[in-house]
Amino acid sequence: MKYRLLQGDAYEQLRKLPDRSVQCVVTSPPYWALRDYGVKGQLGQESTPGEYVSKLVAVLSEVKRVLKDDGTLWLNLGDTYIGSAQSCGQKISTLSKTQRGNRGSLHSIKKLPVNYRALGLKPKDLVGIPWSVAFALRQAGWYLRSDIIWYKTNPMVESVTDRPTKAHEYIFLLAKSRKYYYDQKAIAEPIKPESLQRARRAMTLHRYSALQGHPQRGTAKWADKKPTTRNRRSVWIISLKHSRFEHYATFPEDIPMICIKAGTKPGDTVLDPFAGSGTTLLAALKLKRKAVGIDINKKYVRQIMKTRLEKYLRGFG
């Protein structure tokens, strides 16, 4: 089996997968109150952030069951502004093709009947969904290991004048156990010449301080080896790409590529329970991993994902 597709609600479909059968999960669930995928049972349409968080945590508890004990979950989440998230007060015609493609058409964005004030929220408030989910997952037993900032070089244009333009989303790295598979070298980044110079300067200083009885051997040893790469940083600069598919909320392939390289070995199984157009599955196949994808939308599963993966496997991807 190279890949397996399951159509239906993530929570229900996950129950069909055996315990400890997946090494790594890379996923981008629907964000709260942002987009209507037009399917009954879809996540993201809950009337409160709390309800959304509970539902997502329940789905991810099934994800935890199917993960191997040393497995990881890489969870991409964006936030919502009260009163503006669903419309952003912006005309679609002001967006570039890429931004339009990733945001969806205005028809796909509808206002939810939410009583924000009853929730203690005011119009214009940032809801703080990503961290609410991260804390709830930690509470549910996950190891919250890293908040990664996905910095978009070409963010959606916003007509706001009283706050900075939103140019980032979160990717949380969560582990099922305290010790987990993480291939640091596979995702190491090149060292900039300035950083090496800084390290050499630091080394000289450290040697000097070592003479004074304050040895700092770690840095000295590291710089002595004249490294060409360094540990991957927690800010990933990745631009939005225009989606060629009839799916508007795709993430760039670079995101699952990095997560899968760090979280798996060739032959391992990668899962995306909110697979959409199948970007995670495609990245997995390209890296010689097996892939499992779930989506509630029939069209995404039977047409978009299947076609995309088959095209790649037949050498046309």
Ligand X SMILES: C[S@@+](CC[C@H](N)C(=O)[O-])C[C@H]1O[C@@H](n2cnc3c(N)ncnc32)[C@H](O)[C@@H]1O
Chain positions contacting ligand X, by CB under 6 A: 9-10, 28-30, 37, 41-43, 247, 249-251, 274, 276-277, 279, 294-297, 300
Q: Please, are residues 5 and 301 in contact by the beta-carbon 8 Å criterion?
A: yes
Q: How far is the CB of 34 from ligand X (least distance, A)?
A: 9
CB of 222 to ligand X, least distance (A): 36
Among 59, 44, 65, which Cα is nearest to 11's? 59
**CB-based closest residue to ligand X:** 276
Q: Nearest distance from residue 256's CB to ligand X, in Å?
A: 8
Residue closer to ligand X, measured from CB, 28 or 72: 28
Q: What does each C-alpha distance from 15 to 30, 57, 61, 74, 273 come to in angstroms? A: 20, 15, 11, 20, 11
Cβ proximity to ligand X, 257 vs 294, nearer residue:
294
CA distance 131 to 259: 20
**Residue 246 beta carbon to ligand X: minimum distance, rounded to whole angstroms:** 11
Cβ closest to ligand X, residue 71 vs residue 252: 252
Contacts of 120 (CB under 8 A, 6+ apart): none
Distance CA 275, CA 6 (A): 10
Instruction: Specify the residue, 43 or 121, whose C-beta has the smaller distance to ligand X.
Output: 43
For the record, the structure tokens of 54 come out as 């509970």
Nearer to ligand X, 51 or 69 (CB): 51
- Rounded to the nearest whole angstrom, what is the least distance from the CB of residue 185 to ligand X in the complex? 26
Q: What 3-state class would DSSP assign to 72? A: strand
